[in-house]
Amino acid sequence: MSRLGVNIDHVATVREARKTNEPDPVWAATLAELGGADGITLHLREDRRHIQDRDVRIMIETVAVPTNLELATAEDVLSIACDLKPSQATLVPERREEVTTEGGLDVVGQQGKVADAVKRLQDAGIQVSLFLDPDSQQIEAGIATGAEAIELHTGAYAHASAKGPASEQFAELEKASKQIRDAGILLNAGHGLTYRNVRPVAQIAGMHELNIGHSIIARAIMVGLEQAVRDMKRLVSP
């Protein structure tokens, strides 16, 4: 049975569109909990385009479920994570010009930098996950850093499933999932997952947690956040 981590970044995106104090992502996190979320995920970007330092601090202090802080390997956000101590930190790539995270972290190309960030977070008592494409070389490099979990980037599968059959992309996820399981570390997944395509990914053997944001927040506009989380929870953990 997979756990559901609810990403509340898009609530903060709406707030920052007007630079006001609503909607409050902290309130959204509480509603997600009431809907059955097993964890709250939030991404503290270097440019602070949505989640702010204040959001991270209050959420870590107040939510009852584990917090998963997504962040780059940059000094300022690493320092904040080590100080505030979320339940888990997920290292992700980051480009200022991207609308949302466009791919997995390149561990092969920056093994030392990523390994240093992993150790620094772990020394602060934080469990570490790496956001990686379903690529065997990247996964092997990620395992070598000593991270406790790997979150598979499901974007290619999600984009393909929106257009038709996605069997090839799903097979890649299954292969990568086995590599992660065989290494004895936690298997997570996320990015682009929706109410239409989530079930096969949730049913991959050993899937520990799915992190989903945009699709839940989009439905919440129509039915309310608590109900939207309940609807996704039924699909992830039937």
The pairing of beta strand 3-7 with beta strand 39-43 = parallel
The residues carrying an active-site annotation are 43, 70, 191
Q: At a CB cut-off of 8 Å and minimum separation 6, what does 55 contact?
A: 12, 25, 26, 42
Q: At a CB cut-off of 8 Å and minimum separation 6, what does 179 contact?
A: 136, 139, 140
Closest CA to 44 of 3, 5, 75, 17: 75
